[in-house]
Amino acid sequence: MKENPFLEVARSAVVIRRDQIFKDGNHRTSTLLCFEYLRMASFVLEAHPLLIYSILSIVGEIRFERSVLILQRMLQKRSYKVAEDLPSVEYLQQKACEAKELPVWATQVYQAESIFTDVKIPLIERRAFARWLKRYDRLLFRSWRIIRTRAGTARDWIAR
């Protein structure tokens, strides 16, 4: 690893996601790559894979450099250095199990998005749903916020 493993990991993950190197599973592969590479650099990443997955989902909507910067900052913010031993293999196995669930989580995020953008549902009910989601399912709310903020449609929702 070079001096800044976060930049290297972020670039690699974004390239895999952007170039669609594999036939299937590019998002999940990029997500797990972040955990494995940081583990090799003696860091523990304390983020749910859905947050990384959400950042990687917006790669096509924003410039490459911006995508790398967003991912790099999130990785730095949610990682800590391990002094002696590398994180265990069980840690990576747990993250791999969580990554298998990512398509289900992504479906939930996009279902929430459809509720937020459905003009047939009164605005007051959409706001109530946003508050409920923020209170009771923070992971899903943060993932939705990452995806929609970068696309430019959720700025009004986040302020509330």
The average confidence (pLDDT) of the chain is 81
- Please, which pLDDT band fits residue 160 given cuts at 50, 70 and 90? very low
> Structurally, how many domains does the chain consist of?
2
| Residue whose C-alpha is closest to residue 35's, from 13, 67, 66 | 13
pLDDT tens string 37-93: 988 888 888 888 888 888 888 877 778 888 899 899 989 999 888 877 766 778 888
153 has pLDDT over 60: no
Cα–Cα distances in Å, from 116 out to 15, 107, 112?
31, 14, 6
Q: Are residues 43 and 72 located together in one domain of the fold?
A: yes
Count CB-CB contacts under 10 A for residue 1: 13
Measured at the CA of 99, the angle between CA 93 and CA 102, to 5 degrees, comes to 160
Q: Are residues 92 and 45 located together in one domain of the fold?
A: yes
Cα-Cα-Cα-Cα dihedral sign, residues 143, 107, 99, 135:
positive
Identify the domain boundary among 57, 75, 100: 100
Q: Are residues 22 and 92 located together in one domain of the fold?
A: yes
Residue 130's domain spans which residues?
101-160
Q: Are residues 89 and 53 located together in one domain of the fold?
A: yes
| Residue whose C-alpha is closest to residue 140's, from 56, 75, 79, 53 | 53
Q: Are residues 95 and 29 located together in one domain of the fold?
A: yes
Q: Are residues 108 and 68 located together in one domain of the fold?
A: no
Helices (H), the chain: 5-19, 26-40, 49-57, 64-77, 89-100, 102-117, 123-136, 138-151, 155-158
| Residue whose C-alpha is closest to residue 14's, from 47, 50, 60 | 60
Q: Are residues 114 and 68 located together in one domain of the fold?
A: no
Q: Are residues 75 and 11 located together in one domain of the fold?
A: yes
- Please, which pLDDT band fits residue 159 given cuts at 50, 70 and 90? very low
Give the pTM.
0.76
Q: Are residues 116 and 96 located together in one domain of the fold?
A: no
Q: Are residues 111 and 91 located together in one domain of the fold?
A: no
